[in-house]
Amino acid sequence: MSTAQQPGASGTGDALIDEVRAIRREICEQCGNDVDRLCDHLREVEQDYAARRGVFAGVSKQAAARVVESWGDDPLRTDDPTIDEVRAIRRALADKRP
């Protein structure tokens, strides 16, 4: 069994996945591993992004739009119409934000 497959192994061998997991672990620890606190934190991040505050201050709406355009027509389309509908609603709401 390789190190990446062993239970409790710290790394997957993929630097990006390891970095994302480390960030996730840090944020969860900062929230005391409390789901409600984590959700509150994520809502704050979402509001900061929408208002282009904090770390998002340098992200213009044009730059964000270019990223979304780069995804193509509907790259996240699934076989689940409920998920597709929720994503469409979220995109429509995001388009209405100032």
DSSP 10-63: S--S-HHHHHHHHHHHHHHHHTTT-HHHHHHHHHHHHHHHHHT-GGGTT--HHH
Region of 34 (left: φ > 0; alpha: ψ -120 to 50; beta: rest) is: beta
* 1 within some domain: no
* Three-class SS state of 82: helix
Overall domain count for the chain: 1
Is the pLDDT score of 59 beyond 90?
Answer: no
Quote the domain boundaries for residue 34: 14-96
Residues with Cβ within 8 Å of residue 6, at least 6 apart in sequence: none
- CB contact at 8 A, 29 and 41: no
Reading the block at residue 84, the tokens are: 């597709």
* 3 within some domain: no
* 4 within some domain: no
* 34 within some domain: yes
Predicted TM-score (pTM) above 0.85: no
Helix (H) or strand (E) holding 85: helix 81-96
* 8 within some domain: no
pLDDT tens-place string over residues 8-54: 456 888 898 999 999 999 999 999 999 999 999 999 998 998 888 89
* 7 within some domain: no
- How many percent of the chain have pLDDT more than 90? 24
* 9 within some domain: no
- How many percent of the chain have pLDDT more than 70? 80
